[in-house]
Structure 1
Amino acid sequence: MKGVILAAGRGSRLGDATDALPKPLMPVAGRTCIDFAVEALLAVVDEVIVVTGYRAHLIEDHLAREWPDAPLRTVRNPQLEAGNLTSLGAARPLVGDAAFILTNADHLFPADMYVRHFAPMGDAIAIACERERPVLPDEMKVIEESGRLTAISKTLPKYDGAYIGTTAVPASLRAAYWQAFDRVHAERDLATASVEMVLHQLAPDLATAPRVCWLSGLKWFEVDTPEDLAIAREGLSA
């Protein structure tokens, strides 16, 4: 099992704060955003792959300094203005034929995320979702039927909850996942193509439709804006 952390974007919604630091290195509760993702994944994977881009050397230096003995590799995505599908594409050669968990550097999950909250062990692609709180307009919304994903988009007028940026792909469905990835890569504008579009491609076929895992009692934070950063800092310093 490998872990993939998408950490290539600038984080422009944070404003001037990212002139000096990329979003994954924003300080929160005595550490940085990306440290939360690395720690959680290392509990369940054999290797972590971090995709860097904007100010890549700063992230690479941080990881080498703070996680010197961890099974961790970095790869750069040179397409900084493209959607995050290209970041996953950059990691693909390092993932190889392994099962993997995909997540984002700006999602601050607890250390037991993949042990206690989202621990898919079956033969289905699984996605982490929530439905116990109000869904914000900019979130990735999902519709499920009998536990399977039927639609995922930020613009769904009706939905069952929100996807929180984490997908687990078992070895048995690795080929199907990458086939769907290739279709999205070929058919969509890479400037806006996202990893969520791969899930949408997989949904119509019952054999590959991702399983929606509704998480309960998970305390986590997403850092997109200065307000998000302030909330994360306050919530994690308590």
Structure 2
Amino acid sequence: MNVTDAVILMAGTGSRLRGSTDTIAKPLIPIAGRPLISYAIDSFDQAGVKTVHAVVGPNGDELAAAVAPLLRPHMRFHAISNANWQKQNGVSLLTAAGNVRAPFFLAMGDHLFESSILDRLMAQTDVSCLNLAVDRKIDSIFDLDDAMKVRTQDNLIVAIGKKLENYDAIDTGIFLCPEIIFDYLRRSLKDDDCSLADGVRLMAAEGNALAVDIGEAWWQDVDTPEMLARAEEEATRLKR
């Protein structure tokens, strides 16, 4: 399968990480001497992505100017401004509608992950559904209370939410998305706002959301100073 496009959501302000720095945009925070976002870009390059779409919010022009040079010469960078950046991440993804070629990868601007996760997503044959990379190594999750929990039945997602009591996997924030995800997000809007989880929940209710186990692969959300310290320790897993 060829996946040519990827969307990275980086419209948030990263307020939970401000204990570590207040002078640099979250995707540019150095991890092992490199900007955090550069690791995701490298993984997308290894997966064959040609165009990276970055959804940006406040100071988006400055952030885009700093991120664009991190791409390989054969890759294209496209910044998408989200005027409603204070709303949830489902609204951020909706701003990419009409700009991206499906199926496309989706990742968060504050996540580190091994490129093998993208390989597992590309190995899926049903790209008409949403494919969400999930981690079943629940004991290894750094901040389980804040993690997005997932309940599955075979490879179908049947429930998703941070407050789920019964779950068997964790949402990694890495997706292979079909075009119809935008329709589901629009249907999920309440007061012109929605989260990605709202869209996934609606897709799951109609049997259109699949869980893809990442196996032994590593990923890390970098959302607090403690997570940043953990990421620094583990970043050697991510080889350029």
TM exceeding 0.5: yes
Tell whether 2:106 aligns with 1:98: no
1:52 aligned partner: 56
RMSD (CA atoms): 1.9
SS at 2:88's partner residue? coil
Q: Which moved more, 1:119-128 or 1:196-205?
A: 119-128
2:8 aligned partner: 5
2:147 maps to which of 132, 139, 153 = 139
Which whole-Å CA distance do the structure 2 matches of 1:84 and 1:99 have between them?
19
- Structure 1 alignment gaps of length 5 or more: none
2:170 aligned partner: 162
- Structure 2 alignment gaps of length 5 or more: none
Q: CA deviation at 1:121?
A: 3.4
Which whole-Å CA distance do the structure 1 matches of 2:236 and 2:203 have between them?
39
Which whole-Å CA distance do the structure 2 matches of 1:14 and 1:107 have between them?
13
SS at 1:221's partner residue? strand
1:37 aligned partner: 40
2:183 maps to which of 179, 182, 197 = 179
Which whole-Å CA distance do the structure 1 matches of 2:230 and 2:108 have between them?
18
Which whole-Å CA distance do the structure 2 matches of 1:81 and 1:138 have between them?
19
User: What is the CA deviation profile of residues 58-83 of structure 1, one whole-angstrom value per residue up to 9, with x for unaligned ones?
Assistant: 32121233226222211111223111
Question: Which contiguous aligned blocks of 4+ residues in structure 1 show a shift greater than 3 angstroms?
Answer: none
Which whole-Å CA distance do the structure 2 matches of 1:160 and 1:230 have between them?
27
2:27 aligned partner: 24
2:199 aligned partner: 198
Q: CA deviation at 1:18?
A: 4.8
CA contact (8 A) 2:9 2:56 kept: yes
User: What is the CA deviation profile of residues 26-85 of structure 1, one whole-angstrom value per residue up to 9, with x for unaligned ones?
Assistant: 100121111111111222323110111133233212123322622221111122311111
How do 1:75-94 residues align onto structure 2 when only pairs under 5 Å count?
A: 75-94=80-99
CA contact (8 A) 1:24 1:34 kept: yes
In the superposition, the TM-score normalised over structure 2's length comes to: 0.87
Tell whether 2:14 aligns with 1:14: no
CA gap of 1:54–1:16, structure 2 versus 1, over 3 A, is: farther
2:79 aligned partner: 74
Which whole-Å CA distance do the structure 1 matches of 2:171 and 2:150 have between them?
6
- Look up the equivalent residue of 1:3 and give its one-letter code: A
Which whole-Å CA distance do the structure 2 matches of 1:55 and 1:21 have between them?
11
1:129 aligned partner: 134
Which whole-Å CA distance do the structure 2 matches of 1:34 and 1:80 have between them?
19
Q: How many residues align?
A: 227
Q: Percent identity?
A: 30
1:211 aligned partner: 210
